[in-house]
Structure 1
């Protein structure tokens, strides 16, 4: 016969077991009641999602978008025009594209495409042999310049650069399409071309392949906003917080990458192993991809300064107005479009995007859990 104290003890044990069983049985349903992640597609103006896009890839890798409630798929689709087409066809919620294409979409096609984040400045340059005779833009007279395609976006800036230095783009310089990857490098080595007009990350890959280059840059080139995150006005009207969450994840990723570039490269390799370079020892591979990534990091930092130096991703209407004027003068568009009309108008949008602990993100980056 059990004593009263023993009976009470046994009852307590049974109660504890019962509670544990109930918690175990109900744990999964309680978690399942959490709000499911919203599926999001971002179309990116690139063919390959390499280390040059840390503001996007790290936002996914580090779970920043999941913290905001989104399951994001990154979609490399080729060029900026193709990305816009994917968004207009409802295959993408956001696009990462050249700002000039956003201006053209609004001016030429009356498409309500809205910029929600500025991630870079115009980072093109004319790369020439560092040990060769070309030391300034005037030395390009009579020379051949390699470009990705003859319709490449940098041509308008090159023409303006040439005219400002007394050269006639139609007579004094010849452009030849040499594509991307190994062909531009070979074109320089064989003297088929004496310069390469490309964006910064592309030129970094040429350097990784052994070219020693100097870069000729127009005085005003870095004053133009370029790579930008954009969406349709209808998306903003339905849920303004949607764009804030996506942009905040990218702002965090930007801060992380700038705080520890080498960690950003290693994280990229872990999650996108097919993009890791080969053909050299590990230290050299890291050096190559750090060089390629740094081109984008420099552009991110310059865009931050261009837009006031206080809020990551801020898109300043004055900077985009500067771009609109250039495009009008270059006849890339036929009618002006107010820059402010192309930028998100959600109250305190960029303040909300930057509502996170920057120091904590930097500390995580320095700790590097790659």
Structure 2
């Protein structure tokens, strides 16, 4: 488990993080909101967090976003704790152990930007493996040990009665196409990755097949936005504004994935495969995001976009034998009604008319 002290020791990585200011054709508002993202590079899996800048949704709320890729998810949490960011991405697999130890700081999750379940395990097309249970004794590749596929897949194996620390071997194989190449060359027996990562591998023409998801896969592994509680109290409109921008971007993407891909590439043309045409670049983003876009709306009847179901945290804590009596200091839905105060149909019309 990662301790709070270890997170603070990792703060040097935050200080050295590469800040990537998003580009926009709109006049820039006076305020800048720093958003720390717990991965090493800008990629299509972040699309609903990013394109609100290029579409003018951030400007409409009175701010400009500055996105900082800080490495791992633990570093994104450090950025919040130290005040290096205004908002950070967060995942329960790294945060819940801290909460269980009673060492949780002053950050609180206020918006869920991707819902479970987005991970799979893939094998080579000719592999004889047919189930997660058959992974016992095998070498499973993950992009990085600081990336969410690692702890989430461990939780799934644990739910099947396997000991993920003893029954399998784990190997970090890199992200994107590099992960697919590791599987293709037999460096690992299987690859645990998330939806947009597999989309990148598919776009590179690397063949694979997914193992069937176990029945009743646990609803864990959501991804969240968090901020300091005192910051939410002080700058509530700002936090609501960014949440609303992400919600609008999510609706925009669902209405027209192609328009969302074009908006993303206008902001980050360097994210396109090297040497690709505009059409091929758009296709690469569409392949990467096809599965993810389906996870922007909550899978719970009557729930509003961005709302957080604490049951996801309870399930993950229980799976890992964590004793947590209350999640009141860990999450809030108090901003959700305000975040959802926009015309979804108008956003859909914008997406369909996007040039």
Quickly name the TM-score band, shorter chain normalised: 0.7 to 0.9
Please state if 1:52 is matched with 2:48. Answer: no
Q: SS of the residue aligned with 1:365? A: helix
2:296 to 290, 295, 300: 300
RMSD: 2.4
Count matched residues.
325
- Tell me if the contact between 1:103 and 1:337 (Cα under 8 Å) persists in the aligned partners: no
Corresponding residue of 1:341: 329
Q: Secondary structure at the match of 2:85?
A: coil
1:71 alignment counterpart: 64
Distance of aligned partners of 1:159 and 1:323 in 2 relative to their CA distance in 1, 3 Å threshold: closer
Classify the secondary structure of the residue corresponding to 2:299: helix
* 1:360 is the counterpart of 2:346: yes
Q: How far apart, CA to CA, are the structure 2 residues paired with 1:47 and 1:352?
A: 32
1:119 matches 2:104: no
Per the alignment, residue 15 of structure 1 pairs with none
Question: Deviations along 1:234-271, whole A, 9 cap, x unmatched?
Answer: 11222322221111111111100111001111111111
1:206 aligns with 2:194: no
User: Partners in 1 of 2:113 and 2:345 — Cα distance?
Assistant: 20
Change (3 A) 1:172 1:316: closer
Q: Could you tell me which residue of structure 1 aligns to residue 24 of structure 2?
A: none
Alpha-carbon contact 1:53-1:296 (below 8 Å) kept = no
Q: How does 1:18-29 map to 2 (within 5 A)?
A: none
Runs of at least 5 residues in structure 1 that lack an aligned partner in the other structure: 1-35
What TM-score comes out, normalization by structure 2 length?
0.83
Q: What's the CA shift string for 1:327-353, capped at 9, x where partnerless? A: 4x2xxx5x415223312263xx21111
Q: 1:313 aligns to what?
A: 306
Q: What does 1:184-333 align with in structure 2 at a 5 Å threshold?
A: 184-216=179-211, 217-221=213-217, 223-301=219-297, 304-306=298-300, 308-327=301-320, 329=321, 333=322
Structure 2 distance, partners of 1:167, 1:91, is 39
Counting helix residues as a fraction of each chain, which structure ranks higher?
1
Shift of 1:153: 4.2
Partners of 1:298 and 1:222 lie apart in 2 by: 18
* C-alpha distance 317-250 of structure 1, shift in aligned 2 (>3 A): same
CA contact (8 A) 1:105 1:113 kept: no
